[in-house]
């Protein structure tokens, strides 16, 4: 399979700095270094960036922030599917797996990668269940890690420079970088496959 490395490189070159700011601000908010009143607009920006704010709206934003903070300080903060179920009552009975994964990505970007229609499309995965997606993601990254690292190395100096501001707030930035690159590869693969299916 020819992987869409150029598209992934272009995406990270343009957007990685913004994503690092979102990650850093979340970690500071989680640690109590940014008060809720100051973080609310930042959180709204994150949800807009990940195209899920439309499901939240301004009225439900404070409740979502409270629920998020309680969850990430709980006993199982990486459990995307369970967090999505916790959000059920606040979101009209809809299981918000995509939104849950994007929020928990902010908390643990070394492990959690966002799930949505596009990345699921890379594997023709019909279920919207994170525990079904995660093994596929992990296997893909393991199978292509040398190719990923080789291509990522061509833009790594610029990305590492962006990471300097965040190195005190975000651990293991090398893994975060690889994960974000892998996510963009899968997003491009998924978009192409979904487009191909719709044109048949």
Residues in contact with 191: Cβ distance below 8 Å, sequence separation at least 6, in sequence order:
118, 121
Q: How buried is 25 (Cβ within 10 angstroms: 0-12 exposed, 13-18 middle, 19+ buried)? A: buried
How many CB atoms within 10 Å of residue 137? 20
Residues in contact with 94: Cβ distance below 8 Å, sequence separation at least 6, in sequence order:
55, 88
Per-residue pLDDT 10s for the chain (200 aa) are 689 999 999 999 999 999 999 999 999 999 999 999 999 999 999 999 998 888 888 888 999 999 999 999 999 999 999 999 998 877 777 788 999 999 999 999 999 999 999 999 999 999 999 999 999 999 999 999 999 999 999 999 999 999 999 999 999 999 999 999 999 999 999 999 988 877 76
Report which secondary-structure segment, H or E, holds 93.
none
Query: What are the C-alpha distances in Å from 147 to residues 16, 117, 143, 182?
Result: 20, 25, 9, 11
Q: How far apart are CA 174 and CA 10, in angstroms?
A: 18
Tokens 């994007």, residue located: 102
In 130-172, which residue ranges form alpha helices assigned H by DSSP? 130-152, 156-163
Q: At what angle do helices 97-107 and 36-49 cross, to 10 degrees?
A: 120
Q: How buried is 46 (Cβ within 10 angstroms: 0-12 exposed, 13-18 middle, 19+ buried)? A: buried
Residues in contact with 58: Cβ distance below 8 Å, sequence separation at least 6, in sequence order:
44
């Amino acid at each position: 399979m020819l992987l869409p490395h150029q598209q992934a490189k272009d995406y990270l070159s343009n957007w990685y700095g913004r994503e690092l700011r979102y990650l850093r601000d979340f970690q500071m908010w989680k640690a109590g270094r940014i008060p809720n009143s100051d973080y609310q607009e930042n959180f709204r920006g994150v949800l807009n960036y990940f195209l899920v704010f439309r499901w939240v709206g301004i009225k439900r934003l404070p409740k979502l922030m409270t629920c998020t903070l309680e969850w990430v300080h709980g006993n199982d903060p990486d459990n995307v599917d369970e967090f999505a179920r916790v959000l059920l009552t606040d979101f009209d009975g809809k299981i918000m797996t995509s939104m849950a994964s994007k929020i928990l990505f902010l908390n643990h970007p070394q492990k959690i990668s966002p799930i949505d229609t596009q990345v699921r499309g890379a594997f023709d995965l019909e279920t919207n269940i994170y525990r079904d997606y995660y093994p596929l993601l992990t296997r893909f990254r393991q199978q292509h890690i040398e190719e990923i690292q080789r291509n990522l190395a061509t833009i790594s100096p610029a990305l590492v420079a962006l990471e300097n501001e965040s190195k005190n707030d975000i651990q293991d930035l090398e893994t975060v970088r690889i994960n974000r690159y892998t996510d963009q590869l899968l997003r491009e693969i998924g978009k192409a496959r979904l487009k191909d299916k719709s044109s048949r």
